[in-house]
A = this chain, B = another copy of it.
Amino acid sequence: MQRRVFLTTSALLGASLLGGCKREEKKSFYINRGRKIEIKLATSWPANFPIMGEGVEEFAKRVAQASNNEVIIKVFGKNLLVPALGVFDACSAGQIQAFHSGPYYWKGKNAAFSLFGGFPFGFTSNEMNAWMMYGGGLELWRELYGKYNLYPLLGGNTDVQMGGWFRKEIKSLQDLQGLKMRIPGLGGEVMAKLGINPVLLPAGEIYTALDRGTIDATEWVGPALDIKMGFYKVAKYYYSGFHEPGSVLELTFNKRFWDTLPQEIQTLITSLANEMNAKMVYNFQDKNAKALQQLKKFGVKLKEWPDEIVKAAKEALFKVIEEQSSKSEDFKKLWQQIEPYWMQNRAWTKLGLKNYLKMRDG
């Protein structure tokens, strides 16, 4: 392939004329007027946490690269600058300029926030991103976060999560009665209606509690992150999930700070956040598939919920939504926006993706 290449851009002409200076040229397309933008970003994850923590670190590197090192995002792992669950308040108050976390953590501030994170039997990650970007979700989210002086961007998605690890096999609704399970959020509220006793535990205490039988079950995320927690050593039954089908992660900015950023930097950060948002799903896909192979070697028993549990959980979901709607006007309004979009997208996903996967994987 020794064709002659005709290139007409001024960039190339510049490079040709300068000859040996090409390498230096590459380093300095832009000249900055001597300002630097420095952004302190705190996360709710440990430094270098797989997939989620790594994703935000990579995002920060790419912002630096694409801005000629003039926009510097310093990422602080949990508790290094502010407590893991203190990032919302710290950012709202301007002590940090940005944080990476999940909107369902802040449901105590506003019940509606949990819906931005996802809900049982809710959007898949692709449906969630469709709703956010093309169905009005982002605008609604920004409106509600605006009340807290915050401006959210999409910052990732866990993709479909597993239902959790159980010490004993669950063959019926009866088997769930009184079980103590670590499960947070709307999923926990649905499971409570099925007879589960949901408990909250710090990440570092879950394994021991499961090992000792202080709890009977726990959910976490999916194969890639669960395998690192070692749950397979003390609970052999691993259930497919319905409670967190595509949990949203957020990259949220202090709004007053965001508004001062130059237009081109806002676009750069938004687009690179969208890239991170997507890549995290692909990374989860890749790492979950690899970890599942390992888990199978460890003798984990992969299980599906009995039909009566799925049916009861769907009924419970609508009760939970009714309860939340009666307590919170924001939740109620948001659900009214979400429901028709959810129904419409389920119909297409069933016809397209679900029928495809049925044909491919039986």
Contacts and interface: CB of A to CB of B under 8 A. Distances in A.
Interface string A117-136: 00001001111011111110
How many copies of this chain are found per oligomer?
2
A351 B240 CA distance: 6
Given A28-B33, A129-B285, A223-B348, 15 more contacts: A3-B92, A3-B93, A5-B94, A8-B40, A9-B257, A29-B265, A65-B264, A66-B268, A124-B356, A162-B352, A245-B360, A275-B275, A278-B278, A289-B345, A290-B344
A288 interface: yes
B264 A149 contact: no
Contact of A347 (B292, B304, B351): B292
A19 to B, nearest CB: 12
Interface stretch (A10-18, A77-85, A166-174, A190-198): A10-18
Interface residues of A, number: 116
B149 A285 contact: no
Interface of A: 1, 3-12, 14-15, 22, 25-33, 35-40, 62, 65-68, 70, 92-95, 97, 121, 124-127, 129-135, 147-149, 159-162, 222-223, 240-242, 245, 254, 256-257, 260-265, 267-268, 271-272, 274-275, 277-279, 281-283, 285-290, 292-293, 302, 304-305, 310, 344-361
A162 B347 CA distance: 14
Contact of A352 (B37, B159, B272, B349): B159
Contacts of A360: 121, 242, 245, 346
| Majority DSSP secondary structure for residues of A touching B | helix
A286 B293 CA distance: 33
A329 to B, nearest CB: 18
4 nearest interchain CB pairs? Answer: A5-B94, A278-B278, A240-B355, A134-B286
